[in-house]
Amino acid sequence: MTSTDRPGSPRHTRQRTEIRQAVEDQETFATAQEIHDRLRHDGSGVGLATVYRTLQGLAAAGELDAIRTPDGQVAYRTCSPGHHHHLICRSCGRTVEVSIPSLETLIRALAAEQGFAQVEHELEFYGTCTDCARA
């Protein structure tokens, strides 16, 4: 075992590549099942479990953003780095990334005030975008 062989370096497999590609092609947040459907539809033979496992891994590694949809499913998307939130169209899934520096400041103040440490937050916005509102 060499130092480049340390556990944690994921192996480069066909499936992993396919999955990462599928998520990148997706302009909206997609669930593991949706990614799986897409891949199968495109002729890939990936297993559903592999999609679940791989997406989790990529999200844990910070290569993907994971959110929990209002109905409880987990959805993934390739995002720009750094902490940010999302404004998502309920109808078409169109997503806008938003960063709210003032919120982060506010949270630090809140945490200090209430004596809480390691405060994390997750904030997503759901609305209807212009195009969908018009339809």
Partner DNA sequence: ATGCATGCAAACATTTTGCATATTC
Partner DNA sequence: GAATATGCAAAATGTTTGCATGCAT
Cα Rg, the chain, nearest whole Å: 18
Q: How far is the CB of 70 from a second copy (least distance, A)?
A: 8
> 63 forms bridges with which residues in the sheet?
none
Could you give the CA distance from residue 122 to residue 71 in angstroms, rounded to a whole number? 15
Q: How many residues bind a second copy (CB under 8 A)?
A: 33
CA-to-CA distance for 129 and 125, rounded, in angstroms?
A: 12
53 binds, among a second copy, DNA, none (CB under 5 to 8 A by kind): DNA
Q: Is residue 7 part of the contact set for DNA (CB under 7 A)?
A: yes
Tell me which residue has tokens 């199968």: 40
Q: Does 67 bind DNA (CB under 7 A)?
A: no
Binding site for DNA (CB under 7 A): 5, 7, 10-16, 31-33, 45-50, 52-54, 56, 71-74
